[in-house]
Amino acid sequence: MAIDATSPYDHANIFAKILRGEIPNRTVYEDEWALAFHDINPAAPTHILIIPKGAYVSWEDFSARGSDAEIAGFVRAIGHVARSHDLVTPGYRLLANVGGHGGQEVPHLHVHLFGGRPLGPMLAR
Ligand code: AMP
């Protein structure tokens, strides 16, 4: 079920558990600001989730409350993951679902990184 992006942060959400090391993940990159790991149900040959280490529900929450250092660190981590997976030349797609209409299911900000094949139209019409 899609979440309300304005809800308070739920420390029991699945990505909070991943950040605390309580459940396993397939990490591809980690630094002070971000963790990147393979999506458990990939929708493309490369489907990586990048999440900030701070407790932010959504892009809305992060853009409003995140510090400049957290935002810069997160954005740079996303770029690093794309480059380290050789996705720059072929191209790739970033997607962040926010709240109900965005179809966000996990209430910790995550950016999907898709690549590895032509990804088709941006949205189904
Ligand atoms: P969203 O709809 O944008 O909230 O996407 C949530 C994503 O998290 C989906 O693509 C799921 O496949 C993925 N996901 C859920 N649980 C896990 C998990 N334990 N490890 C990796 N990815 C997960």
pLDDT category, 7, cuts 50, 70, 90? confident
CATH 3.90.580.10 given to domain 14-115: no
Catalytic residue list contains 108: no
120 C-alpha vs ligand 1 centroid, how far in Å?
21
Model pTM above 0.95: yes
Q: What is the pLDDT of residues 81-92, one digit of tens each?
A: 999 999 999 999
Instruction: Give me the residue spans of the domains in the chain.
Output: 14-115
Q: Among all chains, which residue has been given the structure tokens 């396993």?
A: 24
Q: Which residues line ligand 1 (CB under 6 A)?
A: 14, 25, 39-41, 49, 97, 103-106
Question: For residue 30, what pLDDT is reported?
Answer: 98
Atom of ligand 1 nearest to the CA of 106: 4
Mean pLDDT across 103-119: 98
Q: Among all chains, which residue has been given the structure tokens 């957290």?
A: 70
Instruction: Give every strand in the sheet of 34-38, ordered side by side.
Output: 27-30, 34-38, 46-52, 111-115, 93-95
